[in-house]
């Protein structure tokens, strides 16, 4: 009998829960050193496959905004484990996108700078990606995937000889995807939005620009999938959630000096 699912389930049961910087319960079982290694390897591969931007002005702008935000991480989220080093790379890719990998690796596409028309709008995205790293969302997603696969393997083992086992596994797989994986991913996005808004505001970037960034993204992206079937909140939901936190973010912004990174 395959013991793999039992071993994975044992890991899940023994680990217990931790909390994210916002206080949300979290199950993230993979060792941080291993996640950082995964992130470094994936980031290196991406740099080998996608050209890095040589636009000096754009690079300086991205690095300046990232530096201002990272300086605020310890002030806004004290006690949160952080990578030893951060690496922010601007890729020569026209897609208006950015991403974060464990270990403090953040990629920004050149195309995002065409949609983020101000430094504060670009800070919205960079703060969001920094938040993904701080909240260990990559670790949580990988832990979740291990758990879903373990459960499906167990169902397969206990259903051996049952003619309906394949249909049961397929149904549970769909249920896990819609009922667990996607909502968790939306929770990550929403949490990163909240943390990122706080980071950008405390770093001296006007938080009101965050909502305009998502309006710009909506205009650039055209139609979106239904929110229920998407790993990301739709733009209207995102804007509403940011507006709900705007008063607090504006107080942070007004208490600091505006950031200056060119434009």
Helix axes 119-134, 56-70, angle to 10 degrees: 50
Residue carrying structure tokens 């938080």: 207
Helices and strands of the chain, counted as H and E runs: 12, 5
What gap in Å lies between CA 220 and CA 187, rounded to an integer? 24
Cβ neighbours of 142 (radius 10 Å): 18
Q: Which residues pair with 88 in a beta bridge?
A: 106
What gap in Å lies between CA 11 and CA 23, rounded to an integer? 23
Residues annotated catalytic, as ranges:
129
Two tokens at 22? Answer: 């916002």
What gap in Å lies between CA 40 and CA 36, rounded to an integer? 6
Two tokens at 33? Answer: 């050193």
Two tokens at 14? Answer: 């023994």
């Amino acid at each position: 009998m395959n013991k793999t699912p039992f071993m994975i389930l044992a890991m899940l049961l023994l680990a217990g829960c931790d909390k994210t910087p916002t206080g949300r319960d979290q199950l993230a079982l993979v060792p941080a050193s291993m996640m950082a290694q995964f992130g470094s390897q994936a980031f290196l591969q991406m740099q080998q496959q996608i050209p890095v931007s040589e636009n000096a002005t754009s690079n300086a702008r991205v690095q300046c905004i990232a530096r201002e935000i990272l300086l605020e991480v310890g002030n806004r989220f004290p006690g949160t484990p952080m990578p030893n080093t951060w690496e922010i790379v601007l890729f020569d890719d026209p897609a208006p996108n950015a991403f974060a990998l464990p270990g403090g690796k953040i990629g920004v596409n050149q195309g995002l700078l065409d949609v983020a028309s101000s430094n504060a709008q670009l800070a919205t995205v960079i703060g969001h990606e920094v938040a993904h790293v701080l909240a260990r969302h990559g670790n949580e997603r990988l832990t979740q995937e291990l758990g879903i696969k373990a459960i499906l393997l167990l169902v397969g083992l206990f259903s051996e000889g049952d003619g309906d086992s394949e249909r049961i596994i397929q149904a549970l797989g769909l249920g896990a995807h819609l009922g667990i994986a996607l909502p968790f991913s939306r929770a990550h996005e929403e949490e990163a939005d909240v943390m990122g808004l706080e980071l950008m505001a405390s770093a001296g970037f006007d938080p009101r620009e965050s909502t305009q960034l998502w309006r710009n993204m909506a205009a650039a992206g055209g139609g979106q999938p239904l929110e229920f079937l998407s790993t990301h909140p739709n733009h209207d939901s995102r804007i509403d959630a940011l507006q709900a936190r705007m008063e607090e973010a504006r107080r942070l912004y007004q208490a600091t000096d505006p950031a200056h990174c060119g434009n």
